Amino acid sequence: MPLFPRRRRRLAVLRLSGVIAARDRALSLAALKPLIDRAFRVGDEVALVINSPGGSPAQSQLIHDYIRIQADRRKKAVITFVEDVAASGGYWIALAGDSIRVLPTSLVGSIGVVSAGFGFVEALDRLGVERRLVAAGRNKVRLDPFSPRKDEDTEWLTGLQAQLHERFIEHVRSRRAAQGTRLPEGGELFTGEVWLGREAIAHRLADQEDSLGAYVDREKIRLREIAPRRMFSLRGLIGGLAAETLGALEARIEDRALRAPFGL
């Protein structure tokens, strides 16, 4: 028996749950950067545990890219474990792993782009409210919810969506190729469809069935959860209660809206 037992490998765990957006109580690079740095500093490997229906394309890319920069710089493996859902931007971030592991009940995919809004033109008419809007620049005001929709505005928006969708497809193909998987051409892969875990594996969007708990038990590895460090101050507590409550409500509503299409 050795005098000094060999140190067990450490797995740093980053839990990425919720809507992806550049605001409080959401997944953003600003919020996650210190956690990502700590994970790569303390872990021999890093696990991403994904529970996200998506959100901001820009923040999804920023988070993904920063994880890959740290992984390449520190030469450490990254494993993605999908739990409830990795859809849209959530799947974009999931691709930061060297492999993607899912549960049979995980929802994976939604490789597409969506924009939603409301129109209040008739509501204003019924209320007897006149819309007054002054703008400089022919295209300064687009898709105003209080004005009738214009065909050219819809065409402009669908053009932006098509460009974002193409960028998403390029990202998926590039990262899956880096993970050793060549994706088929055509089919329903990039139509915005969502699949359960085993179907996602069959469509080559994920690599195998696995869970964080099973991996830790199988590999006899030490688990290190990476969570935000909370600083307490009475002034911050009193001054921030209203903002925290409103922020939590906003995050809850947006998270619920994005999860609803997946039945979550």
The 10s digit of each residue's pLDDT in 82-140 is: 999 999 999 999 999 999 999 999 999 998 877 666 666 666 667 777 666 667 766 66
pLDDT of residue 160: 83
- Residue ranges covered by each domain of the chain: 10-111+169-262
pLDDT of residue 184: 85
**Domain 10-111+169-262, second-level architecture:** Alpha-Beta Complex (3.90)
Average pLDDT for runs of 10 along the chain of length 264: 68 96 92 97 97 95 98 98 97 98 96 70 68 69 67 76 90 94 84 94 96 96 85 48 51 56 52
Percent of the chain predicted with pLDDT > 90: 56
pLDDT of residue 232: 45
Residue 16, by phi and psi: left (phi above 0), alpha (psi -120 to 50) or beta?
A: beta
pLDDT of residue 136: 72
Write down the pTM of the prediction.
Answer: 0.80
pLDDT of residue 228: 77
Instruction: Determine contact, residues 231/134, Cβ cutoff 8 Å.
Output: no
Identify the residue whose tokens are 């959530």. Answer: 90
Phi and psi (nearest 5°) for 84? -65, -55
pLDDT of residue 48: 98
C-alpha span between 205 and 115 (Å, rounded): 24
C-alpha span between 248 and 264 (Å, rounded): 18
DSSP bridge pairs for 82: 50, 102
pLDDT of residue 156: 74
